[in-house]
Amino acid sequence: MIYFGCDYYPEQWSQWLAEGEARWETDAALMAEAGFNTVRLAEFAWGLLEPAQGQFDFGWLDRAIDVLGRHGLKIVLCTPTPAPPPWLLAAHPEIMQVDAYGRHLGPGTRREACANQPAYRERSRIIVEKIAARYADNPHVIGWQTDNEFGCHDTARCHCEICTDRFHHWLQERHGDLELLNQNWGTAFWGEFYLDWNQIPTPNASAAERNPSHILDFYRFSSDTWRAYHNEQIAILRRLCPNHFVTHNLMFFFPDLDAYDLSENLDFASWDNYHFHGATPALVAAAHDHIWGVMERNFWVMEQQAGQINWSVYNPLPEPNFVRLKTYQGIGHGADGIIYFRWRQALGGSEQYHSGVLDYAGRKTQSYAEIAQIGQELKELAPKLEGTVPSAEVAILLDFDSRWVLQNQPHNSLLRMDHANDFTLENPAVRMDREDEPDERYMTGRAWIAWPYLAAYIALWEANVPAAIVAPNTDLSRYKIVCAPFLNLLRPDVVENLRRFVKNGGTLILGPRAGVKDQDNKLFPIPQPGPLADLAGTTVRYMDSLAPERRNELRWSRAVTRMGRQSPIGLWAEILEPEEGTQVIATYTEGWYSGKAGITYKFHEEGGKVIYVGCMGGPMLYHALFGWLLPEHGIYALMPSMPGVEICARVHQDGRRILFLLNHTSKTQYLSLSAPTTDILSGEQFDRSIILQPGEVRVIEEKNR
């Protein structure tokens, strides 16, 4: 089943409109008309459900659920804890977060509360218990979303007195004693030696740079804080609502919290998909695959953009077919639920310019028409997708410790791996393989962003080769090739996992900066890539951080490209020293390290292979590398690639595939077919080629493989 619906705020419309609750019937009828079967409710309704301490009012929510249920709509309820009510903030002003400058966040919005504050924790437990007990047996309620977007608005890390005290306890549990902490942090530098736990501050604003080990542990502590807060809610829901699923809506590659830990006790992960300024089809595809990889299972899009957003740099009106294209992109990558945000554009509050399925006047939008079309199409498609999952033979490792390390010490500002620091791939040092003017629709306003760790993913996406994005300590046995771009920090469990993968015959691609830091964020006292040097068969002798205007090139060996192809590189270059028996497969062509190794290859007797990529060349570099590697591993594209046309697949247990063909360009595209086929969505038949109009989607089922 595909869960298909919207995020709805009935409490707002009963206040804003003279018709009051009567509007709910109209909305429910329109939702059913659009083919919806699911509605999400109550994520910010704490102040209405508990208008004063200990006084609960669920009557309005009971009535709203009843109205929606009578129209055949199932309900996903939220724990309403992201927006503590005014009475709680007034009674306990200490629960408001403190930023790195010692300033309290102001009340009157959302996400201002600190997860370590006892009053907030206690009242959160009470409201979650009350709402869970109230609806545990309601026939219309099928599941729960916990809270909302943990950490958004820079609220993942708090510096209040309670957090400082809890941080000290967390450090004691992690390091055991102060002598070991001083050793692990390297506090001899600047004479930072601690004699008492209470001497250790949170890494708040300071005159000079903080100890990077100190910062990393605070990031870990902060992530663990929200993990513990989250797990309390999950435990309550499991106890009181054992027949309901539990999920949480994550955000687009959000860097501040460890998504793997935060999601560990969920039934499946969800995320909120907004095509902000600079996002591209490839990056949105990567985000879908990342959320799938958080738990290695199908997921939901709990907030799917339905029109304009209100918070990006620019907020253009999406073109026709945008919503349909993004919906099927999500389903093609493993989404079993698509919930549109929001049902109707708000009349009041801070999100007034955020579009809905209906506009602020209650009129149907272009999105409503597209959604209604999807609702009809899913009647045919959804049964065929039952039991299908994405399947990939290539994995890309995304490690939160390494992200946090590189946030703090990028050594090149364009490598700062955070959510906000994006840059255009039109920069010649970043994206140098597009000689022709890119298609406007494909490039989403010509503004590509791509964090460096996604270069390999983008190359695979452009070649229509599926890729998973997973944790570095996950079971890698299902994959033939594993890419570890920017695995800057190496924990012992990760080292062992990668060794096991190579020993069992896998091919590991290590990217630049690999193995520089130990688990405490200190440099290894051995050459990079540290404990993986013997596995890689090479070490890094020097590293060069390149300004955007500096250029270099790689010359590939003929073993990789028979024509002696060259690839431009920028931003980062490492000069490698391979050991005997390790092949050099690419060398630099410019500067004092011209002719020196930039990429090496080592074959292990067990059959495994390790490639060390010591530089950044964007997707072009990986196109060359994968052009050599993929055929050797029997990995092939889902269909021949065409710029701007995405092919993704969901696979049955018997290997049969359902292919999603998505035209992200403004041009009509023609794809060659190996056999006649039928578009499941339209019923249209195709013989030797299939036609994709601008922004169009086709879904076909392979009969035999």
Question: Strands 645-651, 689-692: parallel, antiparallel or unpaired by DSSP?
Answer: unpaired
Q: Give a three-class secondary structure readout of 161-190.
A: HHHHHHHHHHHHHHHCCHHHHHHHHCCCHH
Alpha carbons 48 and 56: distance in angstroms, whole number:
8
Burial of 126 (0-12, 13-18, 19+ CB in 10 A): middle
CA dihedral angle for residue 583, residue 586, residue 589, residue 593, rounded to 10 degrees: -50
Runs of H (alpha helix) within 268-395: 281-295, 322-332, 366-385
Any catalytic annotation for residue 684? no
Alpha carbons 443 and 445: distance in angstroms, whole number:
6
Q: Give a three-class secondary structure readout of 509-567.
A: EECCCCCCECCCCCECCCCCCHHHHHHHCEEEEEEEECCCCCCEEEEECCCCCCCCCEE
The catalytically annotated residue of 11, 43, 112, 303 is 303
Residues near 399 by beta carbon (within 8 Å), at least 6 away in sequence = 471, 472, 487, 489, 494
Any catalytic annotation for residue 437? no
Residues near 116 by beta carbon (within 8 Å), at least 6 away in sequence = 158, 160, 162, 163, 166, 225
Question: What are the angstrom distances between the C-alpha of 84 and each of 43, 129, 348?
Answer: 11, 15, 19
Question: What are the angstrom distances between the C-alpha of 38 and each of 31, 65, 73, 93, 375?
Answer: 9, 11, 5, 37, 12
The catalytically annotated residue of 43, 50, 149, 646 is 149
Q: Name the one residue in this structure whose structure tokens are 């090149």.
A: 412
| Cβ contact 393:480 at 8 Å | yes
Measured between its terminal Cα atoms, the distance across the chain in Å is 25
Return the H-helix or E-strand segment holding 604.
Answer: none
Alpha carbons 111 and 147: distance in angstroms, whole number:
10
Alpha carbons 632 and 585: distance in angstroms, whole number:
16
| Among the listed residues 657, 651, 297, the one whose alpha carbon sits nearest the alpha carbon of residue 470 | 297
Q: Name the one residue in this structure whose structure tokens are 């494909």.
A: 442
Alpha carbons 224 and 9: distance in angstroms, whole number:
31
| Cβ contact 639:658 at 8 Å | no
Burial of 405 (0-12, 13-18, 19+ CB in 10 A): buried
Return the H-helix or E-strand segment holding 271.
Answer: strand 270-273
Strands (E), 361-449: 394-397
3-state secondary structure (DSSP) of residue 396: strand
- Cα angle 135, 136, 141 (rounded to 5 degrees) comes to 65
Residue 411 Cα to chain centre, angstroms: 24
Which residues form the catalytic set? Answer: 149, 303
